[in-house]
């Protein structure tokens, strides 16, 4: 009788699995997590909209105007009504008499910027990092950062006040030491590039210093303590701890700087240009103004600007590729 109460065990057929097949799960599409994240972080994305609108309106939509570089643009005919001429304006640019002079002046200013202006924030940041008096450190940091907020008009005015032949304070001081005939540093062509570099050093060093000081602030202080215990001096600490800590920042800043090598800065160059130094002061930025605005050659000026942009993109991608090949972390 007891055997009747035992349930009968059904043996699986030969060749069949003992486990029941699991129920099929519904596949998640990629759109589901995307919409879920958009709803979850909707307020953050809402804050992102003004920035996106800025880039769309002022950066991407104006790119349609680049088409006039391949046309003989006439304002009355508009973009679509102007005649298509292909690479005519680029041919005129590369074969024209001004291209060599513009390229030489632009590249020479870019080279001087790399040699003198780019390392200046690194050096100042390393020197400030060695200061142990916080009051002195913050005071010096504020003093070198204040010129960043001044416009190029004020910087050019101060340059005229300090280096002009009539009432320049520094010019008169140099003349009292050297003697001889007074030199008008602002008007002379041979002094144009040194003055441009001095302006960049005075105005831009403070901004870069803050970036490198922020990178230095992230260095673990225990590394310096361990180095001092091992007998490492200041130079060894700098070479093996401080410099490697800011190396990724230096690489990123170098990549970003390479994209602006052809961009000499219109406002600064324009304010410092005179009739006596125009041969060395003409760069692509000022040339675009002369040709495009004063002479009305809109298509030719757009071709010059497009050439600058293409070279800048190539330099950014090239420097980023080179940084990765050298074992550094690139920008992208």
Q: How confident is the model at residue 1 (pLDDT cuts 50, 70, 90)?
A: very low
Q: How confident is the model at residue 36 (pLDDT cuts 50, 70, 90)?
A: confident
Q: How confident is the model at residue 6 (pLDDT cuts 50, 70, 90)?
A: very low
Q: How confident is the model at residue 165 (pLDDT cuts 50, 70, 90)?
A: confident
Domain topology for 97-325 = MetI-like fold (1.10.3720)
Q: Is the pLDDT of residue 2 over 70?
A: no
What pLDDT was estimated at residue 117? 92
Mean pLDDT of the chain: 84
* Pair 160, 186: CB distance under 8 Å: yes
Summarised one tens digit per residue, pLDDT across range 16-28 is 545 555 555 555 5
What pLDDT was estimated at residue 27? 56
Residue 71 phi, psi dihedral angles, 5° rounding: -135, 165
Average pLDDT over residues 32-56: 87
| Rounded Cα–Cα distance for residues 115 and 122 (Å) | 12
Summarised one tens digit per residue, pLDDT across range 214-269 is 888 888 888 888 888 888 887 888 888 888 888 888 888 888 888 888 888 889 99
Read off the tokens for 159: 């340059």
Q: Is the pLDDT of residue 9 over 60?
A: no
Could you tell me which of 51, 20, 271 has the C-alpha nearest to residue 153? 271
Average pLDDT over residues 199-224: 88
Q: Which of 4-8, 64-68, 105-109 has the lowest mean pLDDT?
A: 4-8
Could you tell me which of 113, 105, 106 has the C-alpha nearest to residue 201? 113
What pLDDT was estimated at residue 167? 72
Average pLDDT over residues 39-64: 90
Place of tokens 């055997």: 3
Residues comprising the chain, all counted: 332
Q: Would you list the domain boundaries of the chain?
A: 97-325
Give strand ranges (E) for the chain. Answer: 71-72, 83-84
* Pair 279, 262: CB distance under 8 Å: no
Read off the tokens for 154: 């004020």
| Rounded Cα–Cα distance for residues 210 and 294 (Å) | 40
Place of tokens 């879920």: 36
Q: Which is higher by pLDDT, 14 or 270?
A: 270
| Rounded Cα–Cα distance for residues 246 and 211 (Å) | 10
Q: How confident is the model at residue 194 (pLDDT cuts 50, 70, 90)?
A: very high
> In three state form, how does the secondary structure of 87-123 look?
CHHHHHHHHCCCHHHHHHHHHHHHHHHHHHHCHHHHH
Place of tokens 């979850």: 40
Summarised one tens digit per residue, pLDDT across range 93-152 is 999 888 999 999 999 999 999 999 999 999 999 888 888 788 888 888 888 889 999 999
- The reported pTM is 0.80
* Calculated CA dihedral for residues 143, 145, 150, 152, nearest 10 degrees: 110
Average pLDDT over residues 147-163: 91
Place of tokens 């097949």: 21
Read off the tokens for 77: 């005919």
Q: Which is higher by pLDDT, 58 or 179?
A: 58
Average pLDDT over residues 50-55: 93
Handedness of CA 16, 18, 23, 28 (dihedral sign): negative
Q: Which is higher by pLDDT, 224 or 4?
A: 224
Place of tokens 């062509």: 189
**3-class secondary structure, 73:** coil
Q: What is the DSSP string of 121-170?
A: HHHHHHHHHT---HHHHHHHHHHHHGGGGS-HHHHHHHHHHHH-TTT-HH
């Amino acid at each position: 009788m007891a055997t009747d109460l035992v349930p009968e065990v059904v043996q699986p057929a030969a060749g069949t699995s003992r486990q029941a097949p699991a129920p099929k799960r519904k596949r998640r599409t990629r759109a589901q997590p995307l919409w879920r994240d958009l709803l979850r972080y909707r307020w953050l994305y809402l804050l992102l909209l003004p920035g996106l609108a800025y880039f769309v309106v002022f950066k991407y939509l104006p790119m349609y105007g680049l088409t006039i570089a391949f046309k003989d643009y006439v304002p009355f005919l508009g973009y679509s009504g102007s005649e298509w001429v292909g690479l005519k304006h680029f041919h005129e640019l590369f074969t024209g008499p001004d291209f060599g002079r513009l390229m030489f002046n632009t590249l020479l200013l870019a080279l001087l910027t790399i040699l003198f202006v780019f390392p200046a924030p690194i050096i100042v940041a390393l020197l400030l990092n060695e200061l142990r008096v916080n009051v002195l450190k913050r005071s010096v940091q504020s003093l070198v950062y204040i010129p960043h907020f001044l416009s190029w008009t004020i910087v050019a005015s101060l340059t005229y006040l300090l280096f002009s032949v009539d009432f320049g304070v520094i010019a008169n001081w140099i003349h009292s030491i050297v003697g001889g005939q007074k030199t008008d540093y602002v008007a002379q062509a041979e002094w144009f590039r040194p003055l441009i570099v001095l302006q960049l050093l005075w105005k831009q060093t403070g901004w870069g210093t803050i970036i490198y000081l922020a990178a230095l602030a992230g260095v673990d202080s225990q590394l310096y303590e361990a180095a001092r215990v091992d007998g490492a001096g200041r130079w060894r600490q700098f070479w093996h701890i401080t410099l490697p800590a800011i190396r990724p920042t230096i690489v990123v800043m170098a990549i970003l700087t390479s994209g602006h090598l052809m961009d000499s800065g219109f406002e600064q160059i324009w304010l410092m240009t005179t009739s006596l130094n125009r041969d060395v002061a003409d760069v692509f930025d000022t040339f675009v103004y002369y040709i495009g605005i004063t002479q009305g050659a809109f298509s030719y000026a757009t071709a010059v600007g497009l050439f600058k942009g293409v070279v800048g993109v190539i330099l950014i991608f090239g420097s980023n590729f080179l940084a990765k090949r050298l074992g550094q972390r690139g920008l992208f």
